Structure 1
C-alpha cells in the first residue's frame, strides 16, 4: 500500500475535478462514403452479373438495323412470291373456265357477260391520249436549310395533294387511271404514310406518277379548276416542290390484284 501526503492527494483530486469539468471530445463518426462505397460496389456487381446473364454472350446494344433491313427484304420477297402464285392460279381458273365454256352453255353465257364489263371494271389494259401528272417532294439540301416560312411538312407531297389530282382528273372525264402504274378502281383508296403512298397494300415513294386516259384538253381543264391542285401549284415555286403535267399517248395497265370485296352496299 502506498501512502501519500495530504498535499499530493488534494492536487490529484483537484486535477480530476478540472478534467471532469472540461468538455469531452466527441468520438469521430465514420463518414457516409465509407459505408456507401461497399453498397455501390455490391449493386454494380449485381448489375453486371444480371447483364451478362441476359446477354448470353451477345451484345445488348448491337445495331439491329441490318437485321431489320433483311427482315423487310424477306417480307417483300414473300409478298412477291404470293403475287406470282396468285397470278398463276388466276390463269388456271381462266383456262379451266374457258374449257368448261366450250361444253357448258350457262358458263359460256356468264363468261361472255363478264367479258363485256371487264374493260369498264378495269381488268383490261387501255392505251390512248391522256395526261400524266407527277408530284414530287422538295429536294433536301441541309446546307441551305428550310425555305423562309416553311416547315418540314411543307416540303413533302401529302395525301390530299394526290387526292386532289385524282379527283380533278375524274372530274375532267378520265376513262381510266393509274397511280404508280397500278390501276385505280372504284374501290381504290389513296393514303399516305409519312411521305410515302399506300395503295392496294403496297408502299410507294415519291415522285408520285398519275396517268389518266381521256380528252387531254378536258383533263387539263379539270386540273385547272381544282382548288386543291391550284393550292399545291401555288407553293411549288416557294418551297421547291415538284409538279409536272404532260400530254401524250399513255397506257394504263389492267388491275391485277385481288377483287374480293370486304363490304358492299346495294344501291337503292
Structure 2
C-alpha cells in the first residue's frame, strides 16, 4: 500500500451522480465503475450542486492505481504489473516484454489477447555472453532464448484475453501450435497435454481473463486461471519437458505466434544487458 495522496476519480454513468462533500472525506455514491485494466471516464457528476468532470480526493493509494507499477501493451491497452508473485514461485518475477496475439478472420486481423513474459532476475547473470548486443541481434539468436528456457529458474507467461473466447476454442488454437513442435510424443507428453486441455474445457473465458503459464524449471509447468486479478492457486501441473519446451517455443522460438512479444522481450533484454 502506497502513501496517501491525491487520486483523480472519474465517474462512469449516464446520469449525474450525487457526491456529498465533507471537509476531510468526500463520499462518492454509486455508480462508480473502475476496471482492472484502467479507469472508465464519462460525462459529469454533481458536487455541492455543481456539475464537474472529475473529483480529486485524498486517499491511501494502492499500487493498482500508480501507473509506475504497470507497463501498458500499446496495441491492446492491457496493463501488466511490472512485478508478480505467483503460486509455486520462490521469488517475484519481473516483466521483460509485452505483445499481442492476432488471428486473421476473413482477411481482417482480430486481436485475441495480450501477453507478457516475466522472469526471475537471476537469469540475467547467466546471459553475460549477450551483453552489449542489439535487440535485432538478440531477437535472431535462438541460443539466447534457449539459455533462458533451460535456466533452472522460474519464468511465466501471462495471457490476458481482450475478447470473450470459449475455453475449447482457446485450447484448440494453443494445441494447434504446440502439437507440431512435439515430433514423437511419449505417453507422458500425451498425458500432460490431456491435463493441459482439461484446464480450459467447458470454461467460458471472458474478456480480461488472465491465464498464467509458469515454468518452474525446464521439466515442470504450472497453469493458473484467474477471472478477476491474481491467481490464488494452481489449476494444473504439467510435467513433461517436451510440452514445456514446445510451449516456450510457441511464443519465443523461431516462428512465434506473437512476433510483437518476442520483439519486445528482445528490447527488454537489450536494455537489461547493456
TM over 0.5: no
Report which structure shows greater RCO (CA 8 Å, sep ≥6). Answer: 1
Determine which structure has more spread, i.e. the larger CA radius of gyration. 1
| Structure with more helix by fraction | 1
| Structure with more strand by fraction | 2
Normalising by structure 1, what TM-score?
A: 0.24
